[in-house]
Homo-oligomer: A and B are copies of this chain.
Amino acid sequence: MTHRLAFIGFGVVGQGFADILAKKEETLREKYNFDFQIVAISDMKLGSVYDPEGLDMTKIFEMIENGQSLSEYPDAETGWEPIETIEETNSDIIVEVTFTDMETGGPALDHVRTALKEGKNVISTNKGPVAQKITELQRLAEENNVEYKFEGTVLSGTPAVNLALKNLAGCEINKFKGIVNGTTNYILSKMEEGMDYEEALQKAQKLGYAEADPTGDVEGIDAQGKTLILANTVMDADIDLNEVEREGITELTLDDVQKAKDEGKRWKLISKAEVEDDAIEAKVGPEKIPLDHPLAGVMGPTNALTYTTDHLGDVTIIGPGAGKEETGYALLVDLLSIVD
């Protein structure tokens, strides 16, 4: 069967994923028996287009390059809003990659809900809906016999979520601890080389690791959301964002960094959660990590997570934490796990 994909949102991550699909089309067919068409795109800025016979993606990328609206795509339905695109197209897999709103889940929450109710699979890198309503959404998916997959919400394509849910199935995970924000890890790495906080932040912004407004990263808000997602999915915690304690790295000085170094330690922004007596404690904050701890060696934009389990003790995964291709890849692996 040929799967039909509809993209809700088509920014950096969506385009990164479409790139990978185009490059690997043949491999996906031969090795994974996966045939697909992209039938619809609905993006707030780029416009929207639907062709039940499949879009010509080379043409789509040319139009974007030339600054044309997708609504000018010839002989196709155009101007459909996300909900209409989810409900009315012949798609069977919805790629939800609109902007993240951690506080409410944002419009993405409606997109995911609608898709699952329509009996369509959802693959998404959007943290909002997972953080806000994972229990409801997983129930919806089950009721409608479809899947909701979100590997890319934590550690981009590094398989942190699937590792816990699939490869550690049957284990009790009673604790996790890790570095889940690449921007702050990069800044701290640079500070250890002697740059002060402001200089390191500017360098991170230049390299595209930090946004113009870095608040979400440096105040630990991004890490807080990811910690919530891990606690609620991997540990079935069922907690809210405000139950994850949060402290950023903005108070750390070059002097603090140097002092830690003298003690044989290294500051890291650590995300963690632990179950004790049936209660869960979840937290984001800077910690001094001894240099011989596996997390101490994780430098720059690399991320890492250690799960503490009953049968295996500690299992750690280390890999990229962000990036267009890396996050786009998360959608591919989710897709393959659905069609497998």
A20 interface contact, C-beta 8 A: yes
How many monomers of this protein are in the complex? 2
A294 interface contact, C-beta 8 A: yes
Which chain B residues lie closer than 8 Å to A32 at the CB level?
169-170
CA distance A280 to B317 in the complex (A): 26
Per the CB 8 Å criterion, the residue count for chain A at the interface is: 43
Is the Cβ of A167 less than 8 Å from the Cβ of B167? yes
Is the Cβ of B311 less than 8 Å from the Cβ of A167? no
Which chain B residues lie closer than 8 Å to A292 at the CB level?
297, 299
Is the Cβ of A170 less than 8 Å from the Cβ of B318? no
CA distance A183 to B67 in the complex (A): 60
Complex interface residues of chain A between 110 and 147 (CB less than 8 A to chain B)? none
**Known contacts A318-B315, A326-B311, A329-B312: A167-B171 contact under CB 8 Å:** no
Is the Cβ of B170 less than 8 Å from the Cβ of A329? yes
Is the Cβ of B318 less than 8 Å from the Cβ of A158? no
A69 interface contact, C-beta 8 A: no
Is the Cβ of B329 less than 8 Å from the Cβ of A169? no
Given contacts A27-B170, A28-B170, A166-B167, 4 further A-B contacts (CB under 8 A): A157-B311, A169-B340, A315-B317, A317-B317
